[in-house]
Amino acid sequence: MATKKQSAKTFESQLQELETIVEAMEEGDLPLEDALKQFEQGVKLTKNCQQLLEKAKQRIQVLSEQQELVDLDVDINEDEDAD
């Protein structure tokens, strides 16, 4: 259930949560058990953010490829008009 909850969060909110965890751990005031929990949560957030970035990268690639096809269609149409 935690995975569904995390996937519903935005990339930005997860990144902010990760930054908060890093700051808390850098202070060094957390008891060991809390630090381990925070570290575990940070790993989960990092993996989820990486997955979201990969999905965004794939979407950009698809959109770029579609744009190239549109550009090719425009070039072909322009050539036909020139005849």
pLDDT (average), residues 13-28? 95
pTM score, whole prediction: 0.67
Q: Is the pLDDT of residue 82 over 70?
A: no
**Band of the pLDDT at 23, cuts 50, 70, 90?**
very high
pLDDT of residue 67: 77
Q: Is the pLDDT of residue 15 over 80?
A: yes
Specify the CATH class of 2-77 in words.
Answer: mainly alpha
HEC-encoded secondary structure of the chain: CHHHHHHHCCHHHHHHHHHHHHHHHHHCCCCHHHHHHHHHHHHHHHHHHHHHHHHHHHHHHHHHHHHHHHHHHHHHHHHHHHC
pLDDT of residue 1: 40
Burial 14-53 (b: 16+ CB within 10 A, else e): bbebbeebeeeeeeeeeeeeeeeebeeebeebeebbeebe
pLDDT (average), residues 54-80? 75
- Report pLDDT digits (tens) over 32-55: 999 999 999 999 999 999 999 999
